Amino acid sequence: MWLEVATMSRKRLPVSVTSVDSAFAGPRGSSEPANVLVKAQPKQAEKKTEVGFIMNHKAFTIIEILIVVVLLAIAGMMVVPMMSSAASIQIYSAANMIAADLEYAKSMAISRGQNFSVVFDKTAETYQIKDQNRNVIPHPVKKGFNYVIDFRNDRRLNRVDIFDANFDATNEVKFDYLGSPINGNNTALNSGVISLQAAGVTKTIRVEPVTGYISIGN
């Protein structure tokens, strides 16, 4: 760049006295100093450094992009096992809950000396416990609620499906005052199976004939 320098002190210019005299001397016979154009050298090294810095930070490198892709792939691989693990926990909980509720209905039948039944609806993903008058009994823990278990609307069970509930081709199992199981047709139970599924995992709850023994298996 060019700078126009007016009358300046000799001591501040980085030139010799002779140069200053000659530089500032006006036309011959004139006592007024002449204006001088001094050329300042640009800082080439600094400019190159700034340009290089901008170019180096203008975009992501291939290595940085590959690192991001790898991290996203690892995160995606971690999500699937977590979801499967949640479904596995739910299906174990659901199987234990159904087994416990069947035991509860059987104990109520023995203690009250009357039939109690567990009725399944695999389409609605629900089951309920009824007394001998076909009324849904109150829940012993959730005061003010009937004994109805709804898998779809329960966050603890909403990943589990009631795949099948078969008691001699009926959807109901009853227990008499001795705790013996009866199918929905009011005859002695020959086979009672409830099948649950969640994320590829299957659990089966069985009700044995005569004894009414309840077991959980795969």
48 domain-assigned = no
Of 107, 117, 91, the C-alpha closest to 170 is: 117
Give me the tens of pLDDT residue by residue for the chain, a chain 218 residues long: 444 444 444 444 444 444 444 444 455 554 555 454 445 555 555 555 554 544 555 567 877 777 777 677 666 555 444 445 788 889 999 999 999 999 999 999 999 999 999 999 999 999 999 999 999 999 998 889 999 999 999 988 999 999 999 999 999 999 999 999 999 999 999 999 999 999 889 999 999 999 999 999 98
Cα 191 from Cα 175, distance rounded (Å): 14
16 domain-assigned = no
Q: For residue 139, what are its two tokens?
A: 């829940």
Determine the pLDDT at residue 46.
Answer: 52
Whether 194 contacts 162, CB under 8 Å:
yes
83 domain-assigned = yes
212 domain-assigned = yes
Of 184, 182, 189, the C-alpha closest to 170 is: 184
Amino acid at 187: T
**Number of residues in the chain:** 218
- The parent domain of residue 213 ranges over 64-217
Identify the H or E element spanning 206. strand 201-207
Cα 100 from Cα 214, distance rounded (Å): 9
3 domain-assigned = no
Determine the pLDDT at residue 64.
Answer: 74
Backbone torsions φ then ψ of 198, nearest 5 degrees: -160, 120
Q: Which residues does 28 contact at the CB level (< 8 Å), separation at least 6?
A: none
Determine the pLDDT at residue 194.
Answer: 97
3-state secondary structure of 39: strand
Q: What is the pTM of this model?
A: 0.63
69-82 burial string, b = 16+ CB within 10 Å, else e?
Answer: eeeeeeeeeeeeee
Whether 198 contacts 167, CB under 8 Å:
no
Determine the pLDDT at residue 81.
Answer: 47
Of 111, 129, 93, the C-alpha closest to 178 is: 111
14 domain-assigned = no
Q: How many helices (H) and strands (E) does the chain have?
A: 3, 11
Q: What is the CATH number of the domain that holds 98?
A: 3.55.40.10
125 domain-assigned = yes
Burial of 214 from C-beta contacts in 10 A (0-12 / 13-18 / 19+):
buried
Cα 188 from Cα 175, distance rounded (Å): 10
Number of structural domains, the chain?
1
53 domain-assigned = no
Q: What is the DSSP letter of 201?
A: E
